[in-house]
C-alpha cells in the first residue's frame, strides 16, 4: 500500500492526502525505504555484460515441439501439423511460422532442456529459480523474490527509474487474480516492480468461447490511481491520458507538507515515479506509423515498444507477460486448438514483436548489453490430446536468449525423440536463474534473509550454465 506519511489532509476532490494512492506494486511511501538504493549501486554488476534484461513470458506454457524443438520423424500424434524450416544457424531448425525469428538464430542461444517440477501457470519458477511446489493463488508474501526484486533490493538502475517494471499488467490480471512471480515476496512489497496497467479492447467475440483467441488492442499505461478511497478504477476515465491524471495528482502531492516529511530514500522513490523519463517511456505518440506497424497494432506490439523505450533508459529488469483476458484467449495454455492458436494468433505475434525489438536494440548499440529472453513457465505434452491440444508439461521446455553476454549461434541440450525429457545438459530453473544473475554481474550465491531471518540464496542453490555464456 502506497501511503503519504503525515497528518491527514484533504484534497479538493475530497481525497485524503494521507492515503492518496496505490501505484501498481511499487510501494513508494509507507515502509518504502529502498535501503540499498545507493549503498549497493556499485557493489555488484561491474563484470556483467547484461545491464538490462527483458523476459518475455509466454504465459500458459508454449509447445516446445511445435516451436523450437521440432520432431518431424516422431509419430503423427506427437509431431503435430507444422513443418520445420532452416534458420540462419546451420543445423538448427524451428517452426515454419517463425521465419523472422529464424533469421536471428545465428545471434541466439537456444536452450532446449529447461526442466522443473513446478506445474503451475505462473512464472515463479523461471523468475526466481524456486520450484518447490505448485503456486498458491494469489501470490503470497512468503513467496521468494524474483530477479527484479533483487535488482530493486540492490539499488540497480538510475535514481529516476525503477529497477524493475512489469508489463502490460501483473500476471493474472486478465483473470482477476495475481499469479506469483514478479514480486518482492518475503523481502516485502517495497521491492515489487512498477506494474503498468492496460485496458485491452476486443473488436469481436471469439468464434468459440475457449481456445479461439481474439487479438487484444491497446497500450500499456502508467499505473492508474486504483486504490484512491474515493476514486476507483471504474470511475477513472481510461480514455483520457493517464499521464495527465498523474500530472495533476503528483502536482498536488508534491507541494504537500507530507511529502516534505519523507526521508531521503522515500523522497527519491517518489521522484522516481514522478520522473518524466518513466512516464514518457509509456507515451507512444511520438513513434512513427512505420514503427507502430512494424511492432504490430495490438497490445503485444505496443507493449514491446514500451519495453524498448524503457530499455533505452537502462531499466535493469523488465518482464512482459502475455496474459489471458477472460474468454478472449488463453495465451499459450492450449489444451485445445493448439495448432490453430499457434498458427493464427500466437506465432505471428511472436515472429513480429521479437525481431522488431532486436532490430531496434541492435541499431541503437544496445543488444550487446541487453539480454532478451523468450520462454514460458513450462512446456506441453508430447502427445496431442483428443481436442487437438497439448497439456501441461514442466519436465521440458525451451528458452531463447539473445544479447547480453550469451553465446551467439549456440544450441544447448538435446531432448529425446518426442521432446519430452532432456537427454543431455538438463537446465534446472535454479541454474537458469543463476545464469541470468551471472550475466547481470550479480552473485547467484548471494543470500537474503526470509521473514524468519533465515538466509536464502537468490538463485536457490543454482549454478550458472557457463556453456551458454560467451
- The pLDDT tens digits for 340-359 are 999 999 999 999 999 999 99
Least confident piece of the model among 152-166, 181-195, 380-394: 152-166
pLDDT at 263: 45
Residue 27: partners with Cβ closer than 8 Å, 6 or more residues away: 1, 2, 189, 190, 192
Helices assigned H by DSSP within 417-466: 429-440
Q: What is the mean pLDDT of the chain?
A: 84
Full-model pTM:
0.84
Residue 244: partners with Cβ closer than 8 Å, 6 or more residues away: none
How many CB atoms sit inside 10 A of residue 191's CB?
29
Geometric angle at alpha carbon 411, from 410 and 415, rounded to 5° = 170
| Higher pLDDT, residue 93 or 134 | 93
Where residue 29 falls among pLDDT bands split at 50, 70, 90? very low
Residue 116: partners with Cβ closer than 8 Å, 6 or more residues away: 125, 131, 378, 394, 428, 429
pLDDT at 17 over 80: no
Report the alpha-carbon distance of residue 195 to residue 177 in Å, rounded.
Answer: 14
Span 57-74, pLDDT tens digits: 999 999 999 999 999 999
Where residue 132 falls among pLDDT bands split at 50, 70, 90? confident
Where residue 161 falls among pLDDT bands split at 50, 70, 90? confident
pLDDT at 91 over 60: yes
Residue entry with cell 492518496: 20
Where residue 109 falls among pLDDT bands split at 50, 70, 90? very high
Report the alpha-carbon distance of residue 460 to residue 457 in Å, rounded.
Answer: 5
Residue 368: partners with Cβ closer than 8 Å, 6 or more residues away: 49, 403, 404, 405
Superfamily of domain 32-221+288-468: Alkaline Phosphatase, subunit A (3.40.720.10)
| Closest CA relative to residue 315, chosen from 155, 149, 157 | 157
pLDDT at 247: 54
Longest Cα–Cα distance of the chain, Å, equals 71
**CA distances for 373 relative to 252, 262, 352, 370, 403, angstroms:** 40, 38, 15, 10, 9
pLDDT at 6: 29
Report the alpha-carbon distance of residue 321 to residue 351 in Å, rounded.
Answer: 16
pLDDT at 381: 98
How many CB atoms sit inside 10 A of residue 137's CB?
15
Rounded to an integer, the average pLDDT of 428-445 is 98
Taking a C-beta distance cutoff of 8 angstroms, is the pair 349, 296 a contact? yes
Least confident piece of the model among 99-113, 150-164, 285-299, 440-454: 150-164
pLDDT at 36 over 50: no
pLDDT at 258 over 90: no
Rounded to an integer, the average pLDDT of 313-325 is 96
Residue 70: partners with Cβ closer than 8 Å, 6 or more residues away: 79, 82, 84, 93, 94, 95, 419
Helices assigned H by DSSP within 98-172: 99-102, 124-128, 147-153
pLDDT at 425: 98
| Higher pLDDT, residue 277 or 194 | 194
Q: How far apart are the first and last CA of the chain?
A: 42
pLDDT at 1 over 80: no
Domain boundaries, the chain: 1-28+229-281, 32-221+288-468
Percent of the chain residues past pLDDT 90, beyond the cut? 70
Where residue 245 falls among pLDDT bands split at 50, 70, 90? low
Percent of the chain residues past pLDDT 70, beyond the cut? 79
Report the alpha-carbon distance of residue 262 to residue 34 in Å, rounded.
Answer: 13
151: which DSSP letter?
H
Amino acid at each position: 500500500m502506497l501511503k503519504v506519511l503525515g497528518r491527514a489532509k484533504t484534497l479538493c476532490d475530497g481525497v485524503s492526502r494521507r492515503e492518496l494512492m496505490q501505484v501498481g506494486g511499487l510501494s513508494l511511501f509507507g515502509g518504502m525505504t529502498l535501503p540499498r538504493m545507493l549503498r549497493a549501486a556499485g557493489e555488484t554488476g561491474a563484470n556483467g555484460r547484461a545491464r538490462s534484461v527483458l523476459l518475455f513470458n509466454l504465459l500458459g506454457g508454449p509447445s516446445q515441439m511445435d516451436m523450437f524443438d521440432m520432431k518431424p520423424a516422431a509419430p503423427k500424434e506427437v509431431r503435430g501439423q507444422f513443418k520445420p524450416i532452416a534458420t540462419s544457424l546451420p543445423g538448427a531448425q524451428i517452426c515454419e511460422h517463425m521465419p523472422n525469428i529464424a533469421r536471428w538464430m545465428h545471434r541466439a542461444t537456444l536452450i532446449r532442456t529447461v526442466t522443473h517440477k513446478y506445474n503451475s501457470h505462473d512464472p515463479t519458477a523461471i523468475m526466481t529459480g524456486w520450484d518447490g511446489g505448485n503456486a498458491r493463488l494469489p501470490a503470497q508474501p512468503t513467496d521468494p523474490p524474483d530477479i527484479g526484486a533483487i535488482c530493486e533490493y540492490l539499488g540497480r538502475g538510475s535514481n529516476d527509474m525503477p529497477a524493475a517494471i512489469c508489463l502490460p499488467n501483473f500476471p493474472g490480471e486478465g483473470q482477476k487474480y495475481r499469479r506469483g512471480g514478479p514480486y518482492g515476496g518475503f523481502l516485502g512489497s517495497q521491492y515489487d516492480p512498477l506494474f503498468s496497467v492496460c485496458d485491452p479492447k476486443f473488436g469481436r467475440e471469439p468464434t468459440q468461447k475457449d481456445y479461439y483467441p481474439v487479438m487484444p488492442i491497446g497500450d500499456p499505461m502508467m499505473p492508474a490511481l486504483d486504490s484512491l478511497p474515493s476514486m476507483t478504477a471504474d470511475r477513472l476515465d481510461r480514455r483520457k491520458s493517464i499521464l495527465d491524471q498523474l500530472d495533476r495528482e503528483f502536482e498536488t502531492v508534491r507541494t504537500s507538507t507530507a511529502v516534505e516529511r519523507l526521508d531521503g530514500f522515500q523522497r527519491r522513490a517518489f521522484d522516481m515515479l514522478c520522473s518524466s523519463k518513466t512516464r514518457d517511456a509509456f507515451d507512444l505518440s511520438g513513434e512513427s506509423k512505420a514503427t507502430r506497424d512494424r511492432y504490430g497494432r495490438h497490445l503485444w506490439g505496443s507493449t514491446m515498444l514500451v519495453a524498448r523505450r524503457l530499455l533505452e533508459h537502462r531499466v535493469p529488469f523488465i518482464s512482459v507477460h502475455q496474459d489471458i483476458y477472460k474468454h478472449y484467449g488463453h495465451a499459450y495454455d492450449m489444451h485445445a486448438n493448439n495448432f490453430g492458436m499457434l498458427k493464427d494468433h500466437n506465432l505471428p505475434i511472436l515472429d513480429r514483436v521479437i525481431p522488431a525489438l532486436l532490430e531496434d536494440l541492435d541499431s541503437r548499440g544496445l543488444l550487446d548489453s541487453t539480454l532478451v529472453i523468450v520462454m514460458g513457465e513450462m512446456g506441453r505434452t508430447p502427445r496431442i490430446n483428443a481436442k487437438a491440444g497439448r497439456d501441461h508439461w514442466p519436465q521440458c521446455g525451451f528458452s531463447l536468449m539473445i544479447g547480453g553476454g550469451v553465446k551467439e549461434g549456440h544450441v544447448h541440450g538435446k531432448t529425446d525423440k518426442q521432446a519430452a525429457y532432456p537427454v543431455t545438459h538438463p537446465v534446472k530453473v535454479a541454474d537458469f536463474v543463476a545464469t541470468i544473475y551471472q550475466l547481470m554481474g550479480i552473485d547467484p550465491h548471494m543470500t537474503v534473509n526470509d521473514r524468519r531471518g533465515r538466509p536464502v540464496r537468490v538463485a536457490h542453490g543454482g549454478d550458472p550454465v557457463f556453456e551458454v555464456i560467451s
